[in-house]
Structure 1
Amino acid sequence: MPEIRGVLEIIYFISGPALVVIAYLALSQIKVAKQQIEAQRETTRIAAKRDSLRVTSEQVAKYGSEIIPLQSALFKKIKSEEVNYFTKSKVTIADNKLSTTPCADKKEIEKLGLITQEFVSTMNSMEGFSVYFTSGVADEEIAFRSISVTFCDSISKLLPLLIPMTDGENRFTSTMKLFMIWHTRLQKENMEKQKANLEEKLKSQNIQTIRPFGSDA
């Protein structure tokens, strides 16, 4: 029995450092595995960003080569057919909400039928374009710098017809969503520029006062 006890004590003392070594190796493996996971995540993130930039570039190019010509054809048809429905309607954009007072002239409403084909073709293309950005597949912040002005300008002109068409309906939802995002951002940037210009003018103003006699006494 004493011999067995001695062996057990030796095993006990030996097992202590061994367990420490095993624990250290296990922690090292965990650390390596964590680093590998983080590296994989970073690789995935970079790949996703690269794909997003590629899709963004493709869609911006498509906007210039395909959508702008469709818009031009639509606005040309509106002008040639003397469709005044859009200019005779009133649109209000406030608090991220759209509202319109549509033109009530029956003749102008009937004239809308003359531009149906061009209108549908333009809006379908713009909807297909917009869904890439509202879904997050493409980077709308990058595209914003290139085409937000022409995009918002075109949609703004068509709002008298788009607002009643999309109110409560599942039509051109991505286009309208992207319009509101970009329109709001453009408005904010414009106000910030006006604020900066105003502050600069205020700094340049030389304010003079006339003190009454005896006020320094």
Structure 2
Amino acid sequence: MDAFNSFLATIKPLIELLYFIASIGLAFFAYLGLQQIAILKSTAATQAKRDALRLTSEQCAIYMDKIIAGQNDFNKHLKAANITWFEGWNIEIQGKEVRAHRNTPQNMQNLSKLDIGHLNQMEAFSVYFVSRLADETVAYRTVGKTFVNHMDKVMPFVLTARKDGYFQNMVTLYVTWKARAEAERLVFEQKEINSKLSKLNSVSGTASPIGSEFG
């Protein structure tokens, strides 16, 4: 028994050394594993961004090639068929809710002859951005203004159709882009006002009072 205890005492430092080395090895491999996970996450995020930008580019190309042509045809049809129902509406946005009202009677004449195929295309276009599969901030800089301008015109019709479950994504994207366009307009107007005020202050600050030259 004494011999066995002596043997254990002899090899104990070696066992402790091996345990220490093993701990360092485990920590090292754990560190490498964490580094690999970070690299994989970064690669996945980069790939996801590339995919989103590619999809954004594709959808903007479809918008400019097909949807704008459909919008132009729609406007031409309104004029040719003398459809005035879309005129005279006031559009209000409160939070995420959109309302349309008018003070004049509605003229429903020839409204049933409308071709709204381009609105279906706009809804399909909107799905990619509302679901965040594509980058709506990039798309806004490309087609945002024409999207908002057309929606301003057709929104009363879209809201009527939305009651039946249609055009949900299109309205959501409109609210986002309309708010952004309005904010940009206000910023521009503020800069214009500040510029005019600066010029007026410059003039009023350097002009001498009338009669001051006569001491």
TM, length-normalised to structure 1: 0.87
Contact kept in structure 2, 1:152 and 1:183, CA below 8 Å:
yes
Cα deviation, 1:85-120, whole Å, max 9, x if unaligned, reads 1113333334443212257746x21321121xx22x
Cα deviation, 1:134-181, whole Å, max 9, x if unaligned, reads 1111110101101000000011111121223224x4210111111110
Large movers: runs of 4+ above 6 Å: none
Cα 1:104–1:111 shift into 2, 3 Å: farther
Alignment of 1:129-148 (within 5 A): 129-148=125-144
Identity within the alignment, %: 25
Determine helix, strand or coil for the equivalent of 1:197: helix
Gaps of 5+ in 1: 212-217
Gaps of 5+ in 2: 210-215
| Matching of residue 180 in structure 1 with residue 175 in structure 2 | yes
The one-letter code matched in structure 2 to 1:113 is: S
Indicate the RMSD between aligned Cα atoms, in angstroms: 2.1
Determine helix, strand or coil for the equivalent of 2:93: strand
Aligned to 2:99: 99
Determine helix, strand or coil for the equivalent of 1:92: strand
- Determine the C-alpha separation between the residues in 2 that align with 1:16 and 1:70: 78
- What is the count of residue pairs matched by the alignment? 206
- Determine the C-alpha separation between the residues in 1 that align with 2:186 and 2:90: 23
Aligned to 1:50: 50
Cα 1:201–1:10 shift into 2, 3 Å: farther
TM, length-normalised to structure 2: 0.88
Aligned to 1:90: 90
